[in-house]
Chains A and B, each alone.
Chain A
């Protein structure tokens, strides 16, 4: 008599089996996303940790024996730091524009362009900066040129995060300040921005993490070198961890390749560390990946 509990048969059974199979498939997809990350992180760690010694951090790279990556560490800090110095103000200001003055055709165009810009291949940005900066400074590869390229990659990310974070600030906060007779620009800088700060800083960290691992646009802007990085940021080749990995990783000598693994480990720690830090800073909803 039981209608609800009668044993599953025929079509109904097939529907249930399909449901289970598809649920399992979704779990499998989630697992499949975890495998490569775990594999890469463990593999790089095992291969790289062995060369982490004093020489690795203090020496210059060598071509026929294990050397160090001192120049790459300094170069990464220099180029990424410079790029943040250029990219963060531009991105934040553009984000303010979109959030506070951007509900119109111009704002829509800028927004759409910024979104599209995140899809421009980084190597294309490298070619652009080569034409604009390197060729205009007498063909000099330089840390500055590299920083400009990385800044261009950062700007759309920072712009869009800043906009989203500012839009989350409730209007009542703005109105409270305006009602006190504070001009709009002061309200934005002193009330709105600080309220949105944690979100904006998160966006900055994420974008810095993304460009810290960039390699392609640096080939045609800072060129790379095995020697100490140039003291003049506007002239002379520099190198970064990522460029050293590219060069040393393809070397025929296994001892040299090991140094590339050590540099990869360092780079991964920097990038993943920045990404995790960004997540820790930002506790709100709507975090992007």
Chain B
């Protein structure tokens, strides 16, 4: 068997020599059914590339009127004037980044903690229970998070968490001001809960990829479990854990419905976290059904900006995780 029976089709299709030449060669040599099948699944594989390219192309196309009118200044302009038809993405980019970063600051330590618990501590049976719970947390629909965040979490944060925070940190601008009905703060906490499964799951995979030899080396030097984790495991897994966190950041930046429900959709550069704000995604969702004229291309351009932000975040995160899990040290998911 081996090579002769299993020629990797695209190997000869795309790399060794010309595409067409090889297609004909293989058609003459190989089984016709094999060739057709290989070609069909290849088309489906390529369709994923087509969709991705299509997303960029469509958003670019649909946002043309907005791009032509506002130019590059759309990206930083904080204008948002419906009367004068003057729009900018600045306010929404600000809202997106601030909520996503707060969510990340809240979720990253807990997510890595869960991963550490699952990999270094948990007895196997408990491991399954906690693992499933985290999985189900990822399955709860965004809109249900929104409803729960609005009616259940927001009053709780307003009555029990915000007052002590303000008592201690109230002199800082982000914690000053009145806790209004809906808030950036609540939206960020809900986002943190929503990205927790992502951060935890990827961190768990990354920590599992750390070879046990590293753990044993540290333990044999007389380290406690915490010292083993903080001095051998974490430094080894550093880039992957960072990747997990950034992946969570990407999730938070793109999350729509929960934020739309909670944040108040008030296009302003908020100074207090207890005030209202808006994110790119929440603005698109909230304004779509009344959009007309120029607002439609404006929303499309906002979508393009959101796409660019999340793609940059995602690709950098994946590269970091790949660096560790596939490993320059040849350490495949050991």
When distances are taken between beta carbons in the complex, the residues of chain B under 8 Å from A161 are: none
Q: Of residues 85 to 111 in B, which have CB atoms within 8 Å of A's CB atoms?
A: 109-111
B37–A185 contact, CB under 8 A?
yes
CA of A242 to CA of B131 in the docked complex: distance in angstroms?
26
Interface residues of B in 12-55 (CB under 8 A from A): 13-15, 31, 33-34, 36-38, 40-42, 44-49, 51-52, 54-55
Residue contact B281 to A216, C-beta cutoff 8 Å: yes
For B6, the chain A residues whose CB sits under 8 A away are: 174, 178, 184
Q: A216-B256, A249-B150 are in contact. Are A155 and B227 (CB under 8 A)?
A: no
B256, A121: Cβ atoms closer than 8 Å: yes
Residue of B nearest to A97 (CB): B45
The answer to whether A253 has its CB under 8 Å from any CB of chain B is: no
Residues of B with C-beta under 8 A to A127: 58-59, 62, 284, 299-300, 303
Q: How far is the CB of B35 from chain A (nearest CB, A)?
A: 9
CA distance A28 to B121 in the complex (A): 12
Verify A289–B254 contact, CB threshold 8 A. no
Cα(A107)–Cα(B5), bound, Å: 20
Task: Give the A-B pair count, Cβ closer than 8 A.
Answer: 300
Query: How far apart are the CA atoms of A260 and B201 in the complex, in Å?
Result: 31
A110 touches B31 (CB 8 A): no
Of all chain A residues, the one with the shortest Cβ separation from B47 is A90
CB distance from A16 to the nearest CB of B (A): 7
Nearest-CB distance from A107 to chain B (Å)? 7
Q: Is the contact region of chain B dominated by helix, strand, or loop, or is it mixed?
A: helix
Question: A113 and B1 in contact (CB under 8 A), knowing A119-B310, A127-B59?
Answer: no
Q: Contacts A121-B310, A289-B201; is A104 near B14 (CB within 8 Å)?
A: yes
Contacts of A246 in B (CB 8 A): 143, 146, 257, 260-261
Residues of A7-65 at the interface with B, using a CB-CB cut-off of 8 Å, are 15-16, 18-19, 22-23, 25-30, 32-34, 36-37, 39-40, 43-44, 47
CB <8 Å contact, B114 and A96: no
Q: How far does the alpha carbon of A249 sit from the alpha carbon of B151 in the complex, in Å?
A: 10
1/0 contact trace for A91-134 toward B, CB 8 Å? Answer: 00110111011111111011011111101111111011011100
Q: Pick the most buried of B5, B148, B254: most chain A CB atoms within 10 A of its CB.
A: B148
User: How many B residues, CB 8 Å from partner?
Assistant: 104
Contact A27 B121 (CB under 8 A): yes
Verify if A85 is at the interface (C-beta below 8 Å from B): no
B288 contacts partner chain A, Cβ-Cβ < 8 Å: yes
Q: Is B121's CB under 8 angstroms from A23's CB?
A: yes
Check if B285 is an interface residue, CB within 8 A of chain A.
Answer: yes
A268 to B300, CA, bound (A): 31
B117 within 8 A of A: yes
Within 8 A of A (CB), among B141-171: 141-148, 150-152
Q: Are B59 and A33 in contact (CB under 8 A)?
A: no
Chain B positions within 8 Å of A112 at CB level:
318
Contact residues in A for B313 (Cβ distance below 8 Å): 119
Report the separation of the CA atoms of residues A160 and B59 in the bound assembly, to the nearest whole angstrom: 26
Task: Say whether B58 contacts A289, CB under 8 Å.
Answer: no
A residues 235-278 in Cβ contact with B at 8 Å:
242, 245-246, 249-250, 257, 260-261, 264, 267-268, 271-272, 275-276
0/1 interface trace, chain A 160-183, chain B, CB 8 Å (1 if under) = 000000000000001100110001
- Chain A 177-215: CB-based contact to B (< 8 A → 1; otherwise 0): 011000111101100000000000000000001101111
B292 at the interface (CB under 8 A from A): no
